[in-house]
Structure 1
Amino acid sequence: MGTRRRIRALLAFGGVAVVALGVGGCGGADVEGAPVEKKAFAFSGGALTIDADNSELEIVPADIKDVRVARQVDGWVFMGDGPDAVWRLEDGRLTLRVECDAVASDCDSVHRIQVPRGVAVTVEDDNGKVTADGFDTALKIRSDNGAVVVRNASGALDLTSGNGEVVVEGGTTSGQVVARSDNGAVRLSLSAVPRRVEAVSDNGEIDIALPKASYDVDGRSDNGEVRIDVPTRKGSAHVVTARSDNGEVVVRNAN
Structure 2
Amino acid sequence: MSRHTLPARALAAAGTVAVLVAGLGACASAEDDKDPDHRTFAFQGDTLTIDADDSGLEIIAADGNASGKVEVTRWFQGSVAIGSDPEVTWNMDGDRLKLRTHCSGVVADCASKHRVEVPRGIAVKVKSDDGSVRAQGFRDALEIRTEDGSVRVSDSTGPLELHSDDGSLRADVSSRRVEASTENGSVRLDLRVVPDLVETRSDDGSVSVALPRGTYKVSAESDDGAVDVSVPRDDTSSHVVNARTQDGKVAVRTAN
- Structure 1-normalised TM-score? 0.91
- Deviation of 1:206 after TM superposition, in Å, equals 0.4
Deviations 1:98-150 (A, max 9, x none): 11121221111110010011100000000000011000000010111100111
Which residue of 2 is the match for residue 178 of structure 1? 179
Counterpart of 1:112 in structure 2: which amino acid?
A: R
Which residue of 2 is the match for residue 95 of structure 1? 98
What does residue range 32-111 of structure 1 map to in structure 2 within 5 Å?
32-34=31-33, 35-62=35-62, 63=64, 64-65=66-67, 66-111=69-114
Deviations 1:40-81 (A, max 9, x none): 001111110000001000001123220000000011213112
Deviations 1:4-38 (A, max 9, x none): xxxxxxxx99x967523232111221311212100
Counterpart of 1:79 in structure 2: which amino acid?
A: I
For the residues of structure 2 that align with 1:232 and 1:55, how far apart are their CA atoms?
A: 42
Counterpart of 1:225 in structure 2: which amino acid?
A: A
* Higher alpha-carbon Rg: 2
Which residue of 2 is the match for residue 6 of structure 1? none
Which residue of 1 is the match for residue 23 of structure 2? 25
C-alpha contact 1:185 1:204 (8 A) present in aligned 2: yes
For the residues of structure 1 that align with 2:86 and 2:232, how far apart are their CA atoms?
A: 53
Which residue of 2 is the match for residue 215 of structure 1? 216
Deviations 1:168-222 (A, max 9, x none): 01xx211100001111000000000000001100010001000011111110001
What does residue range 59-208 of structure 1 map to in structure 2 within 5 Å?
59-62=59-62, 63=64, 64-65=66-67, 66-169=69-172, 172-208=173-209
- Aligned-residue Cα RMSD (Å) equals 1.6
Unaligned runs of 5+ in 2: 1-5
Which residue of 2 is the match for residue 7 of structure 1? none
1:247 and 2:216 correspond: no
Which residue of 1 is the match for residue 3 of structure 2? none
Flag the 1:104–1:207 CA change in 2: closer, same or farther, 3 A: same
Q: After superposing the two structures, state which structure 1 stretch, 203-212 or 74-83, moved more.
A: 74-83
Q: Secondary structure at the match of 1:57?
A: strand
C-alpha contact 1:73 1:83 (8 A) present in aligned 2: no
C-alpha contact 1:182 1:203 (8 A) present in aligned 2: yes
Counterpart of 1:158 in structure 2: which amino acid?
A: E
Unaligned runs of 5+ in 1: 1-11
Structure whose residues are more often strand by fraction:
1
Counterpart of 1:22 in structure 2: which amino acid?
A: V
Flag the 1:242–1:41 CA change in 2: closer, same or farther, 3 A: same
Q: After superposing the two structures, state which structure 1 stretch, 99-108 or 134-143, moved more.
A: 99-108
Counterpart of 2:61 in structure 1: which amino acid?
A: P
For the residues of structure 1 that align with 2:10 and 2:110, how far apart are their CA atoms?
A: 29
